[in-house]
């Protein structure tokens, strides 16, 4: 498993470990609050019953009664003052009088109902599928008796279970949303890091290739300049040497310019998108390349549909110039180059085709590699460095487009730049 995926998993486990105790505590607090509220309500009813029973109790009359009369009097007063769900308990924890609907008191040992610090102290007793809330109050009259309150709170526990299900759903949703967010953020971060690493690797390869590529013309320039300095040459030989130095110097100048452009593209320094008319772009490019085409006696033609799109005009201009330069290098005198712009299948397409030497099928996958040249001897003779299509490819990538070779044969080639609308 990749490191970033392990990190996401660890973060999710940490989140889960945080949510479980928080959820449990929230559920406990909610349940405790509900039971305390019920205990307070039933506790007040118990307290009211106790107060009334002590108030209406006539001890002198009670002492003069027979056992049967005492029992009848006690039952009358208890039912009169205390409502349903209560029982009168004697010293031996036996129920003397019960006003219970579905229950019978069988013993109160070890229930722990006495709590002097809490007037509404209670105990929860489970009876089958039911839950009972028990409370106890001591009586001053009749002396030696206590009033027991028995209330069913099964509904509260049912609500608590529903609350638990709701909490579980909420926390599950939070966990999934947070997990998805963490995953997406980590994935995006990793992708950005991978892109930065890829750019750094490309720059490293590019600089290595540049040093190698520049060594040849520099060696040539140094060699011819040393010859001019130390060897007596005829005028014709001097002219050839100077011409060679001039050609190699121009090649170095073009190479360094394109290298700077490519480095700027890799670092995203040069991207300035604006709405541009395709016709204006093509007219400007044709005007710039017309002189070079005339020097080689190559016909440069343009066809353009009327449309505009968001682009970096300077980069797109550089892209088309590089494609036309490559076409000029591959096309002999009397040949033709067409530059077209049109819309098709929801895409904006810029197309450069020529009647030159074409690109061999086995070379098609390499043409966008930096410093790659189809015909090295011909390209070097015309000042090429193999960076043109690599630069084109990078500019297209910055515009989220594609470079496609639509046709390539000995009769020429056709390269299309397909950009999204």
Separation CA 129–CA 200 (nearest Å): 69
Mean residue pLDDT of the chain comes to 79
User: What is the enclosing helix (H) or strand (E) of 99?
Assistant: strand 95-99
From the number of C-beta atoms within 10 Å of its C-beta (0-12, 13-18, 19+), residue 78 rates as buried
pLDDT band, very low/low/confident/very high, at 347 (cuts 50, 70, 90)? very high
Quote the domain boundaries for residue 328: 271-421
Residue 373's pLDDT is 42
Residues in Cβ contact with 100 at an 8 Å cutoff, skipping those fewer than 6 apart? 84, 85, 86, 87, 150
User: What is the enclosing helix (H) or strand (E) of 124?
Assistant: strand 123-127
- Residue 50's nearest CA partner among 88, 92, 84 is 88
Residues in Cβ contact with 325 at an 8 Å cutoff, skipping those fewer than 6 apart? 289, 292, 388
Please check whether residue 8 lies inside any domain of the structure.
Answer: yes
Look at 128 and 214; give whichever has higher pLDDT: 128
Q: How far is CA 274 from the centre of its chain?
A: 29
CB atoms within 10 A of CB 39: 24
CATH code where residue 11 lies: 3.30.450
Residue 379's pLDDT is 42
pLDDT band, very low/low/confident/very high, at 353 (cuts 50, 70, 90)? very high
Instruction: Examine the fold and report which residue of 103, 121, 152 is the final residue of a domain before the chain moves on.
Output: 152
Residue 264's pLDDT is 63
pLDDT tens profile 272-301: 788 999 999 999 889 888 888 998 899 999
User: 269: which DSSP letter?
Assistant: -
Residue 341's pLDDT is 95
**136 and 147 Cβ atoms separated by less than 8 Å:** yes
Continuous H helices in 109-234: 154-230
**105 and 98 Cβ atoms separated by less than 8 Å:** yes
For the cut 60, the answer to whether the pLDDT of residue 112 exceeds it is no
Residue 343's pLDDT is 93
For the cut 50, the answer to whether the pLDDT of residue 382 exceeds it is no
pLDDT tens profile 10-30: 888 887 888 788 888 888 888
Please check whether residue 234 lies inside any domain of the structure.
Answer: no
Residue 255's pLDDT is 62
Instruction: Examine the fold and report which residue of 131, 152, 173 is the final residue of a domain before the chain moves on.
Output: 152
For the cut 80, the answer to whether the pLDDT of residue 210 exceeds it is no
Residue 281 and residue 143 share a domain: no
Residue 364's pLDDT is 52
Please check whether residue 213 lies inside any domain of the structure.
Answer: no
Indicate the range of 136-140, 263-267, 345-349 predicted with least confidence. Answer: 263-267
- Residue 331's nearest CA partner among 301, 361, 354 is 354
Residue 63's pLDDT is 79
Please check whether residue 37 lies inside any domain of the structure.
Answer: yes
Separation CA 391–CA 385 (nearest Å): 11
Query: Average pLDDT, stretch 385-391?
Result: 59
Instruction: Examine the fold and report which residue of 152, 187, 207 is the final residue of a domain before the chain moves on.
Output: 152
Residue 213's pLDDT is 57
Separation CA 40–CA 15 (nearest Å): 37
**27 and 19 Cβ atoms separated by less than 8 Å:** no
CATH code where residue 364 lies: 3.30.565.10
For the cut 60, the answer to whether the pLDDT of residue 115 exceeds it is no
Q: How far is CA 152 from the centre of its chain?
A: 50
Residue 280's pLDDT is 93
Strands (E), 243-298: 274-277
Q: Interhelix angle for 235-266 vs 154-230, to 10°?
A: 170
Percent of the chain residues past pLDDT 90, beyond the cut: 11
Residue 178's pLDDT is 84
Percent of the chain residues past pLDDT 70, beyond the cut: 79
Query: Average pLDDT, stretch 118-132?
Result: 82
Residue 383's pLDDT is 43
The backbone torsions φ and ψ at residue 331, rounded to the nearest 5 degrees and listed phi first, read -105, 130
Strand order in the sheet with 130-138: 95-99, 86-89, 146-152, 130-138, 123-127
pLDDT band, very low/low/confident/very high, at 1 (cuts 50, 70, 90)? low
Please check whether residue 60 lies inside any domain of the structure.
Answer: yes
**281 and 317 Cβ atoms separated by less than 8 Å:** yes
Please check whether residue 189 lies inside any domain of the structure.
Answer: no
Q: How far is CA 367 from the centre of its chain?
A: 35
Indicate the range of 50-54, 93-97, 271-275, 286-290 predicted with least confidence. Answer: 93-97
Tell how strand 336-344 and strand 299-304 pair up. parallel
pLDDT tens profile 212-258: 556 767 887 888 888 888 888 888 888 888 887 887 787 677 667 65
Strands (E), 305-383: 308-311, 336-344, 347-354
Look at 131 and 364; give whichever has higher pLDDT: 131
Tell how strand 130-138 and strand 95-99 pair up. unpaired
Question: How many domains would you assign to the chain?
Answer: 2
For the cut 60, the answer to whether the pLDDT of residue 363 exceeds it is no
User: 40: which DSSP letter?
Assistant: H
Query: Average pLDDT, stretch 108-135?
Result: 74
Query: Average pLDDT, stretch 370-393?
Result: 51
Continuous H helices in 57-153: 59-63, 67-81
Residue 418 and residue 275 share a domain: yes
Query: 198-235 burial, b if ≥16 CB within 10 A, otherwise e?
Result: eeeebeeebeebbeebbeebeebbeebeeeeeeeeeee
Half-sphere exposure of 235 (CA within 13 A, CB side): 0
Tell how strand 308-311 and strand 336-344 pair up. unpaired
Residue 381's pLDDT is 43
Residue 279's pLDDT is 93
pLDDT tens profile 153-200: 888 888 888 888 888 888 888 888 888 888 888 888 888 888 888 777
């Amino acid at each position: 498993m990749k490191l970033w995926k392990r990190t996401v998993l660890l973060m999710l486990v940490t989140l889960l470990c945080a949510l479980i105790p928080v959820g449990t505590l929230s559920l406990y607090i909610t349940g405790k609050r509900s039971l305390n509220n019920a205990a307070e309500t039933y506790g007040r009813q118990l307290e009211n019953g106790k107060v009334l029973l002590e108030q209406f109790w006539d001890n002198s009359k009670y002492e003069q009664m027979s056992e049967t009369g005492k029992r009848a009097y006690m039952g009358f007063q208890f039912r009169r003052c205390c409502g349903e769900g209560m029982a009168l308990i004697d010293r031996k924890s036996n129920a003397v009088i019960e006003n219970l609907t579905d229950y019978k008191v069988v013993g109160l040992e070890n229930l722990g109902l006495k709590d002097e610090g809490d007037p509404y102290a209670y105990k929860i007793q489970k009876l089958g599928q039911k839950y009972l809330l028990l409370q106890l109050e001591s009586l001053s009259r009749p002396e030696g008796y206590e009033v027991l309150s028995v209330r069913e709170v099964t509904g509260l526990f049912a609500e608590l279970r529903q609350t638990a299900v709701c909490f579980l759903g909420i926390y599950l949703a939070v966990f999934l949303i947070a997990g998805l967010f963490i995953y997406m953020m980590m994935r995006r971060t990793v992708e950005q890091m991978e892109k930065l690493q890829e750019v750094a690797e490309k720059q490293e390869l590019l600089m290595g290739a540049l040093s190698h590529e520049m060594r040849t013309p520099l060696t040539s320039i140094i060699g011819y300049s040393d010859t001019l300095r130390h060897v007596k040459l005829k005028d014709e030989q001097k002219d050839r040497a100077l011409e060679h130095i001039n050609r190699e110097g121009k090649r170095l100048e073009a190479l360094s310019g394109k290298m700077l452009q490519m480095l700027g593209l890799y670092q995203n320094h040069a991207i300035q998108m604006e709405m541009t008319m395709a016709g204006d772009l093509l007219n400007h490019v044709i005007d710039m390349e017309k002189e070079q085409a005339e020097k080689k006696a190559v016909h440069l033609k343009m066809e353009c549909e009327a449309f505009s799109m968001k682009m970096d005009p300077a980069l797109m201009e550089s892209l088309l110039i590089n494609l036309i330069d490559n076409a000029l290098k591959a096309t002999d005198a009397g040949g033709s180059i067409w530059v077209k712009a049109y819309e098709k299948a929801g895409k904006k397409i810029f197309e450069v085709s020529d009647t030159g030497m074409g690109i061999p099928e086995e070379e098609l996958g390499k043409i966008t590699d930096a410093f790659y040249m189809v015909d090295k001897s011909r390209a070097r003779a015309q000042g090429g460095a193999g960076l043109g299509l690599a630069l084109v490819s990078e500019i297209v990538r910055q515009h989220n487009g594609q470079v496609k070779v639509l046709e390539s044969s000995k009769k020429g080639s056709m390269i299309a730049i397909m950009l999204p609308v």
